[in-house]
Structure 1
């Protein structure tokens, strides 16, 4: 169950980064809504990380959480913000995914 919560926490990390990306593209009330979404997603993500770190090793939990956030944020950037999908970007994202999977496999 902790691994599922950790994945959800990582997805909320992706969401708070996406909210920041959208907030910088708009202004006024719409930006305020995106910043509100950022604060909500940040809070949920952190609370879930705190919860799972009580059971999972903090080094593993934090690395997986940030890895999910990094991979997800890059993919959101490519898909929604039209950032470049170069070979080297995708190569290093792939190595990051392999590292996350590796940490999961060697953790108790």
Structure 2
């Protein structure tokens, strides 16, 4: 396996990865690939943010509600069709292209920063 780039610790410290709880999931029929519009509460310091996520093949809307996830919250807003994505939900690609969410394995406060 080859890594794309080596970064230093200061680069990593600039990435704001926070825990949050999914509070709403809607279909995103305008997306080119199947996706949901996901709303996450990242606590009082970060607030509520929305993103588009291509996670429909492994997760239903119902099972995502209330689940804690990890998100990169300091990216600039990105236009995805008619939708503004405000953060990146973290996950891992499988060989078939589906995405498995990166999630905390114990409950933590919304807004907790990745250590």
| TM-score, scaled to structure 1 | 0.25
Write 1 or 2 for the structure with the bigger share of strand. 2
| TM value normalised by structure 2 | 0.24
Larger radius of gyration: 1
Normalized per residue, the structure richer in helix is 1
Higher relative CO (Cα under 8 Å, sequence separation at least 6) belongs to 1
